[in-house]
Structure 1
Amino acid sequence: MRTWKLLTMATAAVAVTATAAVYANTTADPGPANTWTTAWAVPMQQPSIGFEPNWSLTGFADQTVRQVIRVTGGGTAARITLSNRYGPGDLRIAAATIGRTEDGARVHPDTLRPLRFGGAEAVTVAAGQQVTSDSAELRLAPFESATITLHLAEQTGPATFHAQGYASTFRAAGNRVADPDGAAFTEATHSWYYLSDLEMTGSTSTAGTIAAFGDSITDGFGSDNDADNRYPDALAERLAAAGTPRTVLNAGIGGNMIRSDSAWFGESGLHRFDRDVLAKSGVRTVIVFGGLNDIGFSEVDLPTYKPNPRVTVEQLIEGHRDLIARAHRAGLTVVGATLLPMKGAEYYNDTSAAKIRAFNEWLRTSGEYDAVVDFHAAVADPADPEKLNAAFDSGDHKHPNAAGYAAMAAAFDLATL
Structure 2
Amino acid sequence: MSETNAGAGHGWVRSWSAAPQAPDAGLGSLDGVTPFKDVTVRQVVRISGGGHRVRVRLSNEYGTAPLTVGAAGIGLAVDGGAVREDSARVLTFAGRPAVTVPAGAPILSDPIDLPLPALTTLSISLYLPELVESCTYHDSSLDPAWILAGNAVAEAVLPGEAEPLPARALLSAVEVVPDAPATAVVVLGDSLVDGFGSTPGTHSTVPELLADRGLYVSNQGISGNRLLNDGLGASGLARFDRDVLATPGLGHVIVSLGHNDLSIAAMPRDGDGPLADLLAMFPGGPVTPDDVIAGYRQLIARARDRGVKIHIATLTPDEGAEMHTAAGESARQAVNTWIRTSGAFDGVLDFDAAWRDPAHPSRVREDLHAGDHLHGNDAGYRALADSVDPSLFH
| Bigger mean CA offset, 350-359 vs 225-234 | 225-234
Contact 1:215–1:255 at 8 Å: present in 2 too? Answer: yes
Contact 1:117–1:132 at 8 Å: present in 2 too? Answer: yes
The equivalences for 1:18-57 within 5 A come to 32-33=7-8, 35-48=11-24, 50-51=26-27, 53-54=29-30
Contact 1:48–1:57 at 8 Å: present in 2 too? Answer: no
Report the counterpart of residue 262 of structure 2 in structure 1: 295
Q: How far apart in 1 are the matches of 2:287 and 2:372?
A: 23
Shift of 1:329: 1.1
Question: For the structure 1 residues 118 and 28, does the alpha-carbon distance in structure 2 shift closer, same or farther, using more than 3 Å as the test?
Answer: farther
Of the three residues 221, 227, 232, the one matched with 2:196 is 221
Contact 1:338–1:373 at 8 Å: present in 2 too? Answer: yes
Report the counterpart of residue 89 of structure 1 in structure 2: 65
Shift of 1:59: 2.6
Question: For the structure 1 residues 396 and 41, does the alpha-carbon distance in structure 2 shift closer, same or farther, using more than 3 Å as the test?
Answer: same
Tell me the alpha carbon deviations over residues 378-402 of structure 1, each in whole angstroms, 9 at most, x when there is no partner: 0111210100000001011110111
Shift of 1:193: 0.7
Contact 1:97–1:178 at 8 Å: present in 2 too? Answer: yes
Contact 1:213–1:288 at 8 Å: present in 2 too? Answer: yes
Question: For the structure 1 residues 185 and 69, does the alpha-carbon distance in structure 2 shift closer, same or farther, using more than 3 Å as the test?
Answer: farther
Is 1:255 matched up with 2:224?
yes
The equivalences for 1:54-69 within 5 A come to 54=30, 58-69=34-45
Shift of 1:333: 1.3
Shift of 1:183: 2.5
Q: How far apart in 1 are the matches of 2:372 and 2:165?
A: 22
Q: How far apart in 2 are the matches of 1:104 and 1:55?
A: 24
Of the three residues 359, 380, 388, the one matched with 1:383 is 359
SS state at 1:391 partner: coil
Tell me the alpha carbon deviations over residues 67-117 of structure 1, each in whole angstroms, 9 at most, x when there is no partner: 110000111221111111111201000000000111131110011111111
Question: For the structure 1 residues 56 and 76, does the alpha-carbon distance in structure 2 shift closer, same or farther, using more than 3 Å as the test?
Answer: farther
Contact 1:69–1:146 at 8 Å: present in 2 too? Answer: yes
Q: How far apart in 2 are the matches of 1:145 and 1:103?
A: 10
Q: How far apart in 1 are the matches of 2:309 and 2:344?
A: 12
Tell me the alpha carbon deviations over residues 110-132 of structure 1, each in whole angstroms, 9 at most, x when there is no partner: 11111111011110011101111
Of the three residues 99, 113, 127, the one matched with 1:151 is 127
Shift of 1:208: 1.7
Of the three residues 147, 152, 167, the one matched with 1:191 is 167
Report the counterpart of residue 114 of structure 1 in structure 2: 90
Q: How far apart in 2 are the matches of 1:150 and 1:224?
A: 26
Contact 2:321–2:374 at 8 Å: present in 1 too? Answer: yes
Of the three residues 276, 285, 299, the one matched with 2:252 is 285
| Bigger mean CA offset, 129-138 vs 248-257 | 129-138
SS state at 2:379 partner: helix
Shift of 1:55: 6.1
Paired residue total: 382
Shift of 1:37: 1.2
Q: How far apart in 1 are the matches of 2:147 and 2:262?
A: 38
Q: How far apart in 2 are the matches of 1:49 and 1:292?
A: 19
TM-score normalised to structure 2 length: 0.93
Report the counterpart of residue 234 of structure 1 in structure 2: 209
Tell me the alpha carbon deviations over residues 158-186 of structure 1, each in whole angstroms, 9 at most, x when there is no partner: 20000122111111101100001012462
Of the three residues 208, 229, 237, the one matched with 1:270 is 237
Letter in 2 for 1:124: T
Letter in 2 for 1:118: A
Q: How far apart in 2 are the matches of 1:31 and 1:83?
A: 24
Q: What root-mean-square deviation, in Å, do the aligned CA atoms of Structure 1 and Structure 2 show? A: 1.8
Q: How far apart in 2 are the matches of 1:410 and 1:257?
A: 25
Of the three residues 215, 226, 232, the one matched with 1:246 is 215
Tell me the alpha carbon deviations over residues 359-387 of structure 1, each in whole angstroms, 9 at most, x when there is no partner: 00000011101110100010111210100
Is 1:321 matched up with 2:288?
no
Report the counterpart of residue 16 of structure 1 in structure 2: none
Question: For the structure 1 residues 296 and 87, does the alpha-carbon distance in structure 2 shift closer, same or farther, using more than 3 Å as the test?
Answer: same
Shift of 1:49: 7.7
Letter in 2 for 1:258: L
| Bigger mean CA offset, 161-170 vs 181-190 | 181-190
TM-score normalised to structure 1 length: 0.88
SS state at 1:212 partner: strand
**Among the aligned pairs, what percent are the same residue?**
38
Contact 1:338–1:376 at 8 Å: present in 2 too? Answer: yes
Q: How far apart in 2 are the matches of 1:405 and 1:208?
A: 23
Letter in 1 for 2:303: A
SS state at 1:273 partner: helix
Report the counterpart of residue 179 of structure 1 in structure 2: 155
Is 1:396 matched up with 2:372?
yes
Letter in 2 for 1:257: R
